[in-house]
Structure 1
Amino acid sequence: MSEAAPGADFESFVLETIEAFSRLARAQAGDLHSAQDAVQDVYLNMYRRWDFLTAGQGSLTAYGRTAVKRAVIDQFRRNKRMVMVPVHELPEKESGIGAPEAAYEMIKEGIDELVESLPERQR
């Protein structure tokens, strides 16, 4: 008899409940990104406690719904303490590596020159 892969039950649980949890979080949060964050936090916490949760007698879906509601409330409380300050000037655009665009172009040109100076086999 083959044993199920670890996490297989959790994966099927996520696939079954992702839409319902997302709708619930979106209805409470009102913001798509906050709702997605709340649902991801809930799944992360449930995955950490999966063995304990499956050993219990309660409904995993009910537990998840309650956890989503509480996660949205926690996010609201956290964000309530943050003070939003409008920015009058946008910062200089950075490239994907965290350097300003002009500096990135200079570095890229330098790297291209160094690669060209290598012998053919080392390129």
Structure 2
Amino acid sequence: MSLPSRSDDDARFETFVARSNGPLTGLAYLLCGDRHFANDLVQNCLIKLYRVWPKVQESASLDAYARKILLRCWLNEWRRPWRRSEARDGVVPDRPSVEGEPESRVDQAHHNDVLRTALARVPARQRAAVVLRYWSQYSVAETAAVLRCSEGTVKSQTARGLAALRAAMAQLDTATLEELHL
């Protein structure tokens, strides 16, 4: 049996990147709240994945492995002291939907803005727990393994994160209503 050539490996990797780039970028954006930083995280993730590609490309859980690398990259960046002091409050433009009525598109865009802004207000560790549990649909055990903490910590961080997200969304909706009545 002959081993696949490097060009075959590269072609498989390019196919994987084309298929996974969007979902990985979406996950990274939900974690960090900054489109440019999310792209940097995905780039770092793909570089690390490329280094081990010949060993892992046949794995059945390749997508999960890539998400795990992405989460590790985010955690490593988040732990750096200068990241904690940066303010990330830039405006991220929404892409207009080509479907539906204009009113529903405006409502959906508003909802997305409120959700993104509220998610950015949730502390990083809690945001990671909420995103992993509810967006990536990891189990409590899988989330604990990724975040390197106990399952109890995942449960408490998720509960606190959901409470903080609800409070932030309520605060943002109230502020929006007040702006409309002025």
Alpha-carbon distance in structure 2 between the residues aligned to 1:71 and 1:59: 19
Separation in 1, partners of 2:81, 2:35: 15
When the two chains are superposed, the root-mean-square deviation of aligned CA atoms in Å is: 2.2
Asked if 2 retains the 8 angstrom alpha-carbon contact of 1:38 and 1:68, the reply is: yes
How many Å separate the matches in 2 of 1:24 and 1:46? 16
* 1:42 CA drift (Å): 0.6
Q: Answer yes or no: is the 8 Å Cα contact 2:45–2:66 preserved in 1.
A: yes
Are 2:16 and 1:13 equivalent residues in the alignment? yes
When residues 44 and 31 of structure 1 are mapped into structure 2, their CA distance, relative to the original with a 3 A threshold, is same
Residues 75 and 8 (structure 1), Cα distance of their counterparts in 2 relative to 1, 3 Å cut: same
Any runs of at least 4 consecutive aligned residues in structure 1 with deviations exceeding 6 A, and if so which? none
Q: What are the ranges of 5 or more consecutive residues in structure 1 without an aligned counterpart?
A: 85-123
Q: Cα distance 1:81–1:20, how it changes in 2: closer, same or farther (>3 A)? A: closer
Query: Are residues 62 and 81 of structure 1, via their aligned partners in 2, closer, same or farther at CA, if it must alter by over 3 Å?
Result: closer
Q: How many Å apart are 1:46 and its aligned residue?
A: 0.6
CA distance in 1, matches of 2:67, 2:80: 20
> How far is the alpha carbon of 1:73 from its aligned partner?
1.4
Q: How many residues align?
A: 81
1:82-93 → structure 2 map (5 Å cutoff): none
Larger radius of gyration: 1
Matches within 5 A, 1:60-75: 60-75=62-77
The 5-angstrom pairing of residues 1-123 of structure 1 reads 5-6=7-8, 7-55=10-58, 57-80=59-82
Structure number with the higher helix fraction is 2
CA separation in 2, counterparts of 1:31 and 1:44?
A: 20
Q: Which amino acid aligns with 1:28?
A: L
Is 2:25–2:42's contact at 8 Å kept on the other side of the alignment? yes
5+ residue gaps in structure 2?
87-182
Deviation at 1:67, TM superposition (A): 1.2
Partners of 1:21 and 1:10 in 2: CA distance: 15
Shift of 1:80: 4.4
Identity percentage over the alignment? 32
- 1:58 is displaced (CA, Å) by 3.9
**1:98 counterpart residue number:** none
With over 3 angstroms needed to count, the CA separation of the structure-2 counterparts of 1:24 and 1:79, relative to structure 1, is farther
